[in-house]
């Protein structure tokens, strides 16, 4: 195949994968909202991560390397699962019971902003003016969106739960690089899903969630569950990892600002969810804020190997779970002290 033709084919493939990832991450919120009609929230998220782990396990075994996983790394995955699986999925989905799918996605758009704030507090380093501008615009948009709770369009407990889940996930992105996690990102995912699923199942049992839904769930519920497991988690993971190896970090992470747009549209078109001017204007501001933050946050060009230079020097992929995307990866360079 000629070089120009091959390059054109690869660009079209990347574009197709990118568009698919945008659609998949945004549609996850629709899937969760439909599944919640029959499945209790903690049971739903526990089943999701358990099924995703079961599907990914054979792939992990095929791609496994010879490096043994240490006890410290197992503990690191257990700690990470609290932030990324329990808070980032379980608590968020519990709060989603009282919110629309679009509202939930808009609130979760604050995760990169919270990550910047927490990183600023921990590292004591002033972000760039571009990031500060994005932070100010994004938080203003978020404030407009959540102001709906003051006029009764958002139940306060649900809003508080989603904000708590977002905060927990953002805190995890700051803490995870300090944890000793397996270098194999897929294996790290499986361990986090295993621990997180156990925590979610235990929480659901304590909360009195019944198992009767297994016999009474409607076909649409099973279809929604299959969607958020297969498309949102498994294929979504593969799409994200494919893009990470071929494009800039900012482009691979662009789902952060496309997800609310897709979720708002699908919620309105499929479920007939109302969309207020607060959500439209606030969502647009959050879109701009997240774009400014991500586009200014260490974009790295891919080298000939398809990996960032830091990865070639021995960086560790830290894989975390988010309700809308299923996954995100942050890198920790072992060569730095």
Give pLDDT tens digits for 60-119. 877 777 777 899 999 999 999 999 999 999 999 999 999 999 889 888 888 888 888 888
Instruction: Classify residue 313: in a domain, yes or no.
Output: yes
Instruction: Classify residue 328: in a domain, yes or no.
Output: no
**Domain boundaries, position 65:** 21-320
Instruction: Classify residue 279: in a domain, yes or no.
Output: yes
The string of pLDDT tens digits covering residues 141-161 is 888 887 766 656 678 899 999
Residue 333: both structure tokens together: 């360079």
Of 335, 333, 327, residue with least CA distance to 172: 327
Residues 169, 317: Cα–Cα separation, whole Å: 16
CB 102 within 8 A of CB 264: yes
Question: Given this model, what pLDDT does residue 6 score?
Answer: 60
Buried b (16+ CB within 10 A) or exposed e, 219-236: eebeebbebbbebbbbbb
Question: Given this model, what pLDDT does residue 329 score?
Answer: 43
Per DSSP, helices labelled H in 153-254 are 156-175, 185-206, 213-216, 219-226, 236-244, 249-252
> Any residues with CB less than 8 A from the CB of 58 and at least 6 apart, and which?
none
Instruction: Classify residue 165: in a domain, yes or no.
Output: yes
Task: Please identify every stretch of the chain with a pLDDT value under 70, giving residue numbers as ranges.
Answer: 1-7, 9, 148-153, 248-250, 297-337
Instruction: Classify residue 194: in a domain, yes or no.
Output: yes
Instruction: Classify residue 325: in a domain, yes or no.
Output: no
Instruction: Classify residue 41: in a domain, yes or no.
Output: yes
Domain count, the chain: 1
Question: Given this model, what pLDDT does residue 182 score?
Answer: 86
Question: Given this model, what pLDDT does residue 151 score?
Answer: 56
Residue 100: both structure tokens together: 């629309």
Question: Given this model, what pLDDT does residue 298 score?
Answer: 47
Phi, psi angle pair for 315, to nearest 5°? -80, 160
Partners of 320 in the beta sheet?
328
Phi, psi angle pair for 296, to nearest 5°? -105, 0
Instruction: Classify residue 64: in a domain, yes or no.
Output: yes
The model carries a pTM of 0.81
Partners of 328 in the beta sheet?
320
| Neighbour-count burial of 192, counting CB atoms closer than 10 A to its CB (0-12 exposed, 13-18 middle, 19+ buried) | buried
| Neighbour-count burial of 302, counting CB atoms closer than 10 A to its CB (0-12 exposed, 13-18 middle, 19+ buried) | middle
Residues 216, 295: Cα–Cα separation, whole Å: 46
């Amino acid at each position: 195949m000629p070089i120009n033709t091959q390059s054109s084919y690869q660009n079209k493939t990347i574009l197709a994968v990118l568009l698919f990832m945008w659609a998949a991450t945004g549609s996850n919120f629709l899937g969760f909202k439909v599944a919640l009609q029959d499945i209790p929230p903690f049971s739903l998220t526990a089943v999701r991560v358990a099924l995703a782990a079961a599907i990914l396990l054979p792939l992990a075994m095929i791609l496994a390397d010879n490096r043994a996983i240490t006890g410290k790394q197992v503990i690191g995955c257990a700690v990470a699962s609290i932030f990324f699986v329990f808070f980032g999925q379980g608590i968020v989905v519990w709060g989603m019971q009282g919110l629309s799918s679009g509202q939930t996605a808009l609130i979760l758009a604050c995760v990169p902003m919270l990550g910047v704030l927490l990183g600023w507090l921990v590292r004591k380093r002033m972000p760039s003016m571009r990031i500060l501008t994005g932070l100010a615009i994004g938080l203003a948009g978020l404030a407009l969106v959540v102001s709906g709770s003051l006029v009764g369009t958002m139940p306060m407990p649900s809003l508080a739960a989603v904000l708590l889940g977002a905060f927990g996930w953002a805190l995890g992105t700051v803490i995870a690089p300090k944890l000793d996690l397996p270098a194999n990102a897929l294996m790290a995912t499986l361990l986090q899903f295993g621990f997180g699923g156990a925590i979610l199942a235990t929480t659901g049992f304590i909360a009195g969630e019944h198992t009767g839904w297994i016999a009474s769930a409607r076909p649409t519920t099973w279809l929604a569950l299959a969607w958020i497991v297969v498309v949102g988690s498994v294929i979504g993971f593969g799409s994200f990892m494919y893009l990470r190896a071929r494009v800039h970090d900012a482009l691979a992470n662009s789902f952060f600002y496309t997800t609310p747009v897709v979720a708002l549209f699908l919620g309105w078109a499929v479920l007939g969810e109302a969309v207020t001017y607060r959500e439209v204007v606030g969502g647009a501001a959050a879109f701009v804020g997240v774009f400014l933050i991500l586009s200014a946050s260490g974009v790295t060009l891919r080298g000939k190997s398809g990996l960032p230079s830091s990865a070639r020097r021995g960086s560790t992929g830290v894989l975390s779970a988010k309700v809308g995307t299923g996954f995100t990866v942050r890198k920790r360079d072992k060569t730095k002290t």
